[in-house]
Amino acid sequence: MKDIELIDKFFRYLYDNGSIKYYEKVMRECGFNENLINEREILKFQRLLVSSGFVNETNIRVGDGPFAVKINDAGSKMIIEYGSYEKYLDSIKREKILERKLKEAKLKEIKVAIFTAVLAIIATLFLSEPIKIVWKIFLQWIQGN
């Protein structure tokens, strides 16, 4: 099972239950390898959950875990809006891709505008009356020599 799926299950559990009181039980239910469920791994996973910004640590040690976490408002909103952490991450990726494409399109638009301006300046210079006169004199001079 992928890490994102495990995190997703934890967020769903937290959303449904508010907080986690029996970590080992929940970790087993979420598919953690039985041999990896120890205090060190639990604390590591806690840091990962908290670093997401969707979970807060509580000061109360509850159940069989070394800590307790509680879903915060941002976490609840994420679950309500996206349905899962994985869908939230997919949405963020799509937004970044769209932002990059928009920046590329704007850059192309600027390049086209600059190119058009340069062409307009060149056309204006070569179609102006003084330039035409100079060009005629230059052509006559070439033909005469």
Residue type, 68: A
Q: What is the pTM of this model?
A: 0.61
* 85 in Cβ contact with 8 (< 8 Å): yes
Task: Give the pLDDT of residue 1.
Answer: 45
Give the model confidence (pLDDT) of 18-55 as tens digits. 666 556 666 666 666 666 666 777 777 778 888 889 98
Scanning 18-71, the segments in alpha helix (DSSP H) are 23-29, 39-51
Inter-helix orientation angle 39-51/3-17, to 10°: 80
Return the structure tokens found at 39.
């205090």
Pick the residue with more confidence: 74 or 11? 74
CA distances (Å), 94 to each of 74, 98, 100, in order?
Answer: 20, 6, 10
The Cα 17–Cα 24 span in angstroms is 15
Class of domain 3-83: mainly alpha
Where does the pLDDT of residue 126 fall: very low under 50, low under 70, confident under 90, or very high at 90 and above? confident
Task: List the chain domain ranges.
Answer: 3-83, 98-144
Beta strands in the chain (DSSP E): 55-58, 68-71
